[in-house]
């Protein structure tokens, strides 16, 4: 039983029929619903919430010990309870002299040592000291990983493409589908290509399968002895790295208190640093550290991650929202929705509390989206007139990263503002009828068309506005979303840092694989066996 949730549910009924437009237009609306950190401005004024709603949500946060759990995470306590581990991604971007402890031991000397090693390696590739086996400079770096070893670095390198330097191209391979690697290397020269194999255990099936295929490509072109000059590893398993043929001096370490989806700040981010240079990678870390300090120190009513996380729980439980749309008005952020899908849905897509009891509230929403303005010509129709309430996140920069001499960016920015306004305020029948009457349509045609054009409004959204999408800004944003997810998990009482739901399918695939290879179809349930037999028949022609 939760007194705070019961009160919030009753409060939700009191808001039936409330006009979001009237909330927005209140003279003091921005007092508690807009917040600033650096040049990041977060506007919550277009939410179905009042000052009383916020106070009730703060009561919920106190009941669920959100601040105490946050402090436990920063103190290095094993907040990943099912695995008995700390969750110290905050240490990876700690830019202060403040020690961060795991098991009573300060982890910062090890973190800083790996960062120095990453810097030295990046500089050696950039300045041409590190060369391939035929003494050619490296021109292309390919990161082979999956999940957190791919999504974060791939998102960040795309987001920061205007900051790419040193003439390097950076690409990513994650899918075990052979076409992904083949398409990625098709136009490349093995002599000038370097692979980063990113796998904590160096045993992830998809990653190692792709890594061995890449190894064969290098060895066929350049010989076995070339492997050590064209591969480095991000891993904790030195024996497997060495067995692959990578010199362990070229292995970059990270730790079991780094969750995969929180790891882009670690050596997993080596591909990011290779793309944008280590100084800009440091700026990314500094931006994230700034948000960490804000989350750790800001009072609840001014704490942006706490406010966003509580608002998510409000919509999930009291408004029965099943999904949230992420709408970056920035083409460079086109991978952000996919990245946030893993961050949120793998973290909080769970039905069992830490104490083993089933959850009684809804948990993670489905996260989805596309960049504006593309989405306006596809799924925005549903956002405006559909029967499902979908809170939206709009992200937009005041100035573009590309220099332009026309009004394209102003058009983009205006569309972002317009979509959020239209969702909130809608378009009523009386206004629509008046507009149609001005066109000279007959009353019959007006009656037929007017109701089709009604948009109910009252669709909530958050707008994230910043000066420009630079490394520090991206760092602030991603750390903000990480801590937002933590707050959600604290309210729901679940472990946001494990991912047991990922394991069953992987285990079954290992069992089913031999029957796929030889066509015997001896494993799996009846449907699996039938499909395997049909696959074998198709292969045999």
Quote the CA–CA distance of 76 and 88 in Å, as a whole number.
7
CB 42 within 8 Å of CB 36: yes
Q: Of residues 212, 220, 506, 534, which has the active-site annotation?
A: 506
Dihedral of CA atoms 342, 348, 350, 356 in degrees, nearest 10, equals 140
Quote the CA–CA distance of 262 and 92 in Å, as a whole number.
10
Residue 158 annotated to the active site: no
Quote the CA–CA distance of 326 and 531 in Å, as a whole number.
37
Residue 506 annotated to the active site: yes
Give, in order, the Cα–Cα distances in Å from 410 to each of 43, 372, 417, 422: 20, 13, 11, 18
Question: Both tokens of residue 133?
Answer: 């086996």
Residue 286 annotated to the active site: no
Query: To 5 degrees, how large is the angle CA 188–CA 194–CA 198?
Result: 120
CB environment 382-416: b (16+ within 10 A), e (fewer):
ebbeeeebbbbbbbbbeebbeeeeeeebeebbeeb
State the sign of the Cα–Cα–Cα–Cα dihedral 55, 58, 60, 63.
negative
Quote the CA–CA distance of 461 and 46 in Å, as a whole number.
6
DSSP string for 247-303: -GGGEE---TTS-GGG-TTTGGGHHHHHHH-HHHHHHHHHHHHHHHHHHHHS-GGG-
At 357 the three-state DSSP class reads coil
Quote the CA–CA distance of 392 and 342 in Å, as a whole number.
18
State the sign of the Cα–Cα–Cα–Cα dihedral 486, 488, 494, 496.
negative
SS3 helix, strand, coil % of the chain, rounded to 5?
A: 55, 10, 35
Question: Any idea which residue has 């009684």 for tokens?
Answer: 360
Quote the CA–CA distance of 115 and 283 in Å, as a whole number.
13
Query: What are the φ/ψ torsions at residue 393 (nearest 5 degrees)?
Result: -110, 120
Q: Of residues 212, 220, 301, 377, which has the active-site annotation?
A: 377
The DSSP H or E segment spanning 366 is: strand 366-368
Would you tell me how many other CB atoms lie within 10 Å of the CB of residue 88?
Answer: 24
Would you tell me how many other CB atoms lie within 10 Å of the CB of residue 434?
Answer: 12
Query: What are the φ/ψ torsions at residue 346 (nearest 5 degrees)?
Result: -75, -35
Query: What are the φ/ψ torsions at residue 96 (nearest 5 degrees)?
Result: -110, 180
Length reported for the chain: 541
Question: Both tokens of residue 46?
Answer: 């277009």
Query: What are the φ/ψ torsions at residue 84 (nearest 5 degrees)?
Result: 65, 40
Q: Of residues 346, 380, 384, 482, which has the active-site annotation?
A: 346
- The residues annotated with a catalytic role in the active site are 346, 377, 506
């Amino acid at each position: 039983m939760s007194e705070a949730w019961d009160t919030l549910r009753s409060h939700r009924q009191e808001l039936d029929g409330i006009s979001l437009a009237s909330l927005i237009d209140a003279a003091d609306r921005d007092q508690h619903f807009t917040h600033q950190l650096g040049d990041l401005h977060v506007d919550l004024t277009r939410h179905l919430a009042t000052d009383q709603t916020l106070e009730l949500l703060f009561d919920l946060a106190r009941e669920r010990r959100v601040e105490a759990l946050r402090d436990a995470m920063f103190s290095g306590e094993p907040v990943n309870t099912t695995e008995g581990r700390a969750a110290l991604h905050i240490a990876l971007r700690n830019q202060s002299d403040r020690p961060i402890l795991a098991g009573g031991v300060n982890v910062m000397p090890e973190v800083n040592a790996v960062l120095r090693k990453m810097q030295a390696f990046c500089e050696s590739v950039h300045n041409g000291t590190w060369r391939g086996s035929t003494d050619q400079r490296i021109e292309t770096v390919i990161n082979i990983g999956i999940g957190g070893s791919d999504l974060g670095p791939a998102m960040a390198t795309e987001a920061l493409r205007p900051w790419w330097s040193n003439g390097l191209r950076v690409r990513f391979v994650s899918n075990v589908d052979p076409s992904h690697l083949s398409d990625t290397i098709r136009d490349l020269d093995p002599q000038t290509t370097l692979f980063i194999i990113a796998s904590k255990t160096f045993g992830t099936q998809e990653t190692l399968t792709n890594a061995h295929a890449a190894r064969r490509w290098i060895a066929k072109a350049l010989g076995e002895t070339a492997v050590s000059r064209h591969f480095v590893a991000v891993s904790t398993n030195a024996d497997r790295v060495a067995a692959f043929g990578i010199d362990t001096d070229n292995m970059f370490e990270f730790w079991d208190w780094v969750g995969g989806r929180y790891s882009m700040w670690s050596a997993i981010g080596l591909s990011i640093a290779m793309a944008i240079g280590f100084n800009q990678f440091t700026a990314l870390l500094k931006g994230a550290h700034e948000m960490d300090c804000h989350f750790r120190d800001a009072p609840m009513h001014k704490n942006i991650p706490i406010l966003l996380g509580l608002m998510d729980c409000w919509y999930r439980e009291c408004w029965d929202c099943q999904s949230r749309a992420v709408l970056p008005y920035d083409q460079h952020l086109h991978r952000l929705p996919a990245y946030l899908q893993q961050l949120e849905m793998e973290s909080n897509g769970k039905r069992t509390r830490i104490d083993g009891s089933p959850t009684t509230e809804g948990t993670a929403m489905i996260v989805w989206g596309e960049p504006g303005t593309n989405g306006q010509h596809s799924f925005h129709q549903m956002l405006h007139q559909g029967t499902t309430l979908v809170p939206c996140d709009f992200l937009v920069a005041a100035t573009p990263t590309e220099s332009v001499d026309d009004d394209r960016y102003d058009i983009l920015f205006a569309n972002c503002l317009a979509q959020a306004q239209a969702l909130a305020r809608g378009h009523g029948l009386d206004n629509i009828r008046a507009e149609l009457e001005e066109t000279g349509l007959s009353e019959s045609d007006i009656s037929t068309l007017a109701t089709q054009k009604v948009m109910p409004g009252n669709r909530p959204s958050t707008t994230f506005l910043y000066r420009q999408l630079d490394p520090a800004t991206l760092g602030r944003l991603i750390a903000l979303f990480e801590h937002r997810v933590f707050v959600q998990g604290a309210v729901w009482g679940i472990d946001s840092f494990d991912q047991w739901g990922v394991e069953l399918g992987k285990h079954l695939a290992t069992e089913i694989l031999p029957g796929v290879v030889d066509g015997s179809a001896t494993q799996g349930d009846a449907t699996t066996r039938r499909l395997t037999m049909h696959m074998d028949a198709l292969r045999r022609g």
